[in-house]
Structure 1
């Protein structure tokens, strides 16, 4: 198994998997695979933590949530159901691009996401008003506490932050 993971990891380093066209891939369900994403963002396979960052980034790039509410790793030929404890991704850092009025969010996978529409940021009432951001492929990312404090530090005295496509209000 370790040789297989090492081989996959070496291939991952040579390719850019940031935005594969998941919306174009519709293979039949291959089954369930024993992969779970814990609430703290750690990925596990068969009970052991996946510590190879390139593998986590690869798997995260192949992740989508479907209408049935389940999460799947999808390739052009395979679709595997996985388990997600809460949200599959975490926002760990926030920057504000001033002239563009865009939030640049860094996810726990290292991927960066630009947000110019405040409607993509919501509070999840099912989890005590936890802030989340909607992402492509019906995914969501939970804001880590420090990342949400970074957003709060950006708002003005009235609790507002201008974004390119509207006003984010935290009051």
Structure 2
């Protein structure tokens, strides 16, 4: 079976050799952030130049591949997840000085944990991603269903137009927290509540 690779577009330049090494990019990001504490940089305030593409692909199953090799260092994936950017349906790694296009099969983030938390007397759904994002489900970060290939998948909006796929085990936990019913068309509907937000998801 062929390893995943980036499809080359002859009209797009490839990022220079200085930027093709993910370890170098990772070190740059660490130095730029200046802290070991994970935080999301103000990507919306940065206006870097476009620096072509890099042979980096995020598969629909959550795997990250670089130049045909599976990235196994979770700390590196976590770091790159903090600088994910989406623009005109294209995904990038974005720093203050460069914006490099990557390939994403579906969405680049993945939820693997679901909890309920209390905030000022109200119960909210809190989702955690494999890259340490904490998402409180509300009107700006709703859960929704969307088809991908031949299946209907659950998602939650995270930031900058980027969503996270809710993985199967986490979604089953959500089902346990909600209520299942049938609508007038005989379709199964999952009803969830997070704070004042009521969600009704066709499954």
TM-score (norm 2): 0.73
Counterpart-to-counterpart distance in 2, 1:141 and 1:115:
12
- Name whichever structure is richer in strand by fraction: 2
Cα distance, 1:156–1:28 mapped onto 2, change above 3 Å: same
**How many residues are treated as equivalent by the alignment?**
170
Decide whether the 8 Å contact of 1:152 with 1:170 is kept in 2: no
What residue number does 1:163 align with?
194
Counterpart-to-counterpart distance in 2, 1:120 and 1:85:
21
Structure 2 gaps, min length 5: 1-20, 182-189
Decide whether the 8 Å contact of 1:62 with 1:75 is kept in 2: yes
Cα distance, 1:19–1:9 mapped onto 2, change above 3 Å: closer
- Name whichever structure is richer in helix by fraction: 1
Decide whether the 8 Å contact of 2:135 with 2:141 is kept in 1: no
Query: What are the Cα deviations for residues 47-104 of structure 1, in whole angstroms up to 9, with x where unaligned?
Result: 11222222111100000111x2110000010000000011111111100114432111
Is 2:56 the counterpart of 1:25?
no
Counterpart-to-counterpart distance in 2, 1:63 and 1:167:
29
Cα distance, 1:18–1:2 mapped onto 2, change above 3 Å: closer
Counterpart-to-counterpart distance in 1, 2:162 and 2:147:
17
Cα distance, 1:13–1:75 mapped onto 2, change above 3 Å: closer
What residue number does 2:11 align with?
none
TM-score (norm 1): 0.85
What residue number does 2:101 align with?
81
Decide whether the 8 Å contact of 1:102 with 1:114 is kept in 2: yes
Query: What are the Cα deviations for residues 119-161 of structure 1, in whole angstroms up to 9, with x where unaligned?
Result: 7111103443211111111101111111111111001466533
> Deviation at 1:10?
7.7
Higher normalized contact order (CA 8 Å, seq sep 6+, divided by chain length): 1
The Cα RMSD (Å) is 2.7
What residue number does 2:10 align with?
none
What residue number does 1:122 align with?
144
2:50 counterpart SS class: coil
Counterpart-to-counterpart distance in 2, 1:125 and 1:112:
24
Aligned counterpart for 1:152 among listed residues 175, 180, 199: 175
Decide whether the 8 Å contact of 2:26 with 2:76 is kept in 1: no
Decide whether the 8 Å contact of 1:9 with 1:55 is kept in 2: no
